[in-house]
Amino acid sequence: MRILLVEDHAELSRWIARALHDARLPVECVMNGADADALLHTQEYALVILDLTLPKMDGLDVLKRLRARGSKTPVLVLTARGGLHERVQGLNLGADDYLSKPFELAELEARVKALLRRSQGNEAVTQSCGALSFDTVSRMFTYGGEPLALTPREHAVLEALLTRAGRAVSKEKLFDEVFALDDDANLDAIEIYIHRLRKKLERAEQGRVVITTLRGLGYLLEAPETR
């Protein structure tokens, strides 16, 4: 369950993304409307946090094109354009909520979680692979019916793999989702978290889940017993 944050103010983007990561909400960041439009045309997201005043393509145009493609992805408009006309225009174009700058981080988090809950109303709230399950509402993992203790970054790596279970996920993609805000991290750090997760996933007697390395492709989460 990934969130796309579209915000051209680097410091604000970093601040929001770090808060979402701390809340165990994986977030991908882009800083212009054209990149956002390209990603939304090819990738699936649980929620979009969209600034309006963006380089290369205005946020309202991004929203308009998203809805024209038939996408129902929830969109939280985040902008300094606080006038009634702008709010009405954004909502009429298909925005699900609107938050004017400046704002309190607690309010942003509350609105994000409310939109995610609302969007999951008609969807399965549990994602599973073998004995591994993830409750998308409580955001807790269980393994073999027991809670699985994870650090925030282990949690982010495992969620990224589970949401693509049965498909290879590149090391670069995992790095972007887990370490996008850490300037000191390097690509090899992913291998550390993969090793830690493998150790924690070894204990299941039935429905065991494994993380397989596919040379040149990345990592694959699978349950061999279900093949």
Cα torsion angle, 161, 208, 223, 194, sign: positive
- CA-to-CA dists, residue 44 to 74, 120, 215, angstroms: 11, 14, 26
Using omega within 30 degrees of 0 as the cis cutoff, is the peptide bond preceding 102 cis?
yes
* pLDDT tens track for 183-198: 567 888 899 999 999 9
Q: What is the mean pLDDT of residues 197-206?
A: 84
| pLDDT over 50 at 32, yes or no | yes
Reading the block at residue 5, the tokens are 């944050």
Q: Are 49 and 6 in contact (CB under 8 A)?
A: yes
Reading the block at residue 154, the tokens are 């282990």
> Residue 170's closest CA among 213, 209, 132?
213
With a pLDDT cut of 90, the percent of the chain lying above it is 26
| pLDDT over 80 at 226, yes or no | no
- CA-to-CA dists, residue 204 to 130, 212, 226, angstroms: 10, 16, 14
Least confident of 21-30, 81-90, 112-121, 185-194: 81-90
pLDDT band at 137 (very low <50, low <70, confident <90, very high): low
| pLDDT over 50 at 131, yes or no | yes
Radius of gyration of the chain, Cα coordinates, nearest whole angstrom: 18
The predicted pLDDT at position 184 comes to 66
The predicted pLDDT at position 121 comes to 61
Mean confidence (pLDDT) of the chain: 83
Chain centroid to CA 205:
31
> Residue 20's closest CA among 52, 49, 44?
49
In degrees, rounded to 5, the angle at the alpha carbon of residue 8 between the alpha carbons of residues 7 and 10 is: 95
Q: What is the mean pLDDT of residues 148-159?
A: 87
| pLDDT over 80 at 90, yes or no | no
Strand partners, 29: 5
Buried-state track 135-171, b at ≥16 Cβ within 10 A, e below 16: ebeeeebbbbeeebebeebbbbbbbbbbbebeebbeb
Structural domains in the chain, CATH included, are 3-119 (3.40.50.2300), 126-226 (1.10.10.10)
Report the range out of 24-33, 132-141, 210-219 with the highest average pLDDT: 210-219
The predicted pLDDT at position 164 comes to 84
The predicted pLDDT at position 15 comes to 87
pLDDT band at 122 (very low <50, low <70, confident <90, very high): very low
Q: What is the mean pLDDT of residues 208-224?
A: 91
For residue 58, the one-letter residue type is D
SS3 at position 200: helix
